[in-house]
């Protein structure tokens, strides 16, 4: 790993530049969908306080999205419209469990723990990044994400211990959310991840970051006696279900072709109110 820092994207080596761009775009996409789902669950939560927390987390995610999109625009020259309005559905690189509306509260808890949790582990990997524009904002994101993790763990524990029905629904939702989250994280090692580590953009190998996530959620779910499809092998938590990364690319981070629901994009793009959009 080099100790050189990069004040702007134009200083990055070409292969590293592409890798940083792909990672930031996938992170921004996931935060956009998380923000949408959290915002939708301002209402209909099991408690008023849970709705306030969901709304607050939605604001955090959209704030983070704003920072990431500003970085993509100023550092990489992405046109703002190309990030959302003019992008084909199959190009979005969000975690696939966020593609559809969340049906039940346990789904919310599952995406909060697994999807948001995985993203937070990756954000911690970007702390003290050699790519200065990211290093400048990532600490604030990680600080705010601590509350998201606490919310996820608090609700996971609550549903895991309340009664057999909430336990069963939580287990089902966890398995539904974990697999696409691991798809998004990708294989333990790939060329783009090696480039990111080699140039000090991330502070650990991708395998280490992925392992941190698995060890955290594996041990946590095990403590709550919830079976999520992970087992411990030689002290490390690994999936018991198959993941075929033969078609996986760092651009969309999915093992099989899939895309978000057009209705969600309709809301995120503000299509209904397009007439009120001010020109740039």
Partner 1 sequence: MASQRIYEVFARKSHEEPIMHVGSVNAPNDELAKVYAWTAYDEEKWLEMCVVRRSEIIPVLNPEDKPIWGN
Binding site for partner 1 (CB under 8 A): 46-50, 52-53, 55-57, 147, 150-151, 153-155, 157-158, 161-162
Nearest distance from residue 52's CB to partner 1, in Å? 5
Nearest distance from residue 125's CB to partner 1, in Å? 24
Instruction: Give the bridge partners for 231, in sequence order.
Output: 238
H/E stretch holding 237: strand 236-239
H/E stretch holding 239: strand 236-239
Distance of CA 63 to the CA centre of its chain: 14
**Of residues 53 and 221, the one with the C-beta less far from partner 1:** 53
**Of residues 73 and 153, the one with the C-beta less far from partner 1:** 153
CB atoms within 10 A of CB 158: 15
Nearest distance from residue 152's CB to partner 1, in Å? 9
**CA-CA distance, 222 to 242, in Å (whole number)?**
20
3-class secondary structure, 238 = strand
**CA-CA distance, 173 to 181, in Å (whole number)?**
12
Helix 116-125 and helix 164-185, axial crossing angle in degrees, nearest 10? 40
Nearest distance from residue 46's CB to partner 1, in Å? 4
Nearest distance from residue 260's CB to partner 1, in Å? 27
**Of residues 161 and 240, the one with the C-beta less far from partner 1:** 161
**Of residues 49 and 244, the one with the C-beta less far from partner 1:** 49
Nearest distance from residue 113's CB to partner 1, in Å? 13
Which of 176, 42, 24 is closest to 93 using CA atoms?
24
**Of residues 40 and 99, the one with the C-beta less far from partner 1:** 40
Q: What angle do CA 154, 185, 167 make, to 5 degrees?
A: 30
**Of residues 56 and 188, the one with the C-beta less far from partner 1:** 56
């Amino acid at each position: 790993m080099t100790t050189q820092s990069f004040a702007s994207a134009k200083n990055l080596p070409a292969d590293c530049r592409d890798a940083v761009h792909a990672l930031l775009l996938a992170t921004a996409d996931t935060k956009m969908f998380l923000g949408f789902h959290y915002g939708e669950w301002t209402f209909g939560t099991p408690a008023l306080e849970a709705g306030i927390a969901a709304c607050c987390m939605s604001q955090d995610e959209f704030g983070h999205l704003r920072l990431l999109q500003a970085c993509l625009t100023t550092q990489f020259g992405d046109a703002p419209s190309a990030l959302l309005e003019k992008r084909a559905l199959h190009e979005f690189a969000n975690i696939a469990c966020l593609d559809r509306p969340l049906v039940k509260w346990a789904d919310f808890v599952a995406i909060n723990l697994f999807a948001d949790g995985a993203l937070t582990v990756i954000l911690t990997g970007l702390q003290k990044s050699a790519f200065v524009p990211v290093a400048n904002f990532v600490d604030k994101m990680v600080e705010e994400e601590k509350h998201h993790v606490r919310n996820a763990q608090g609700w996971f524990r609550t549903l895991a211990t309340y009664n057999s029905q909430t336990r069963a629904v939580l287990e089902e939702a966890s398995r539904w959310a974990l697999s696409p989250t691991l798809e998004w994280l990708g294989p333990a090692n790939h060329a783009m991840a090696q480039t990111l580590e080699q140039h000090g953009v991330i502070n650990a190998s991708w395998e280490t970051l992925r392992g941190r996530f698995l060890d955290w959620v594996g041990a946590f779910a095990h403590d709550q006696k919830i079976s999520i499809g992970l087992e411990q092998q030689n002290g490390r938590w690994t999936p018991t279900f198959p993941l075929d990364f033969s078609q996986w690319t760092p651009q969309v981070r999915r093992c099989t072709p899939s895309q978000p629901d057009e209705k969600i994009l309709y809301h995120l793009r503000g299509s209904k109110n397009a007439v009120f959009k001010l020109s740039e």
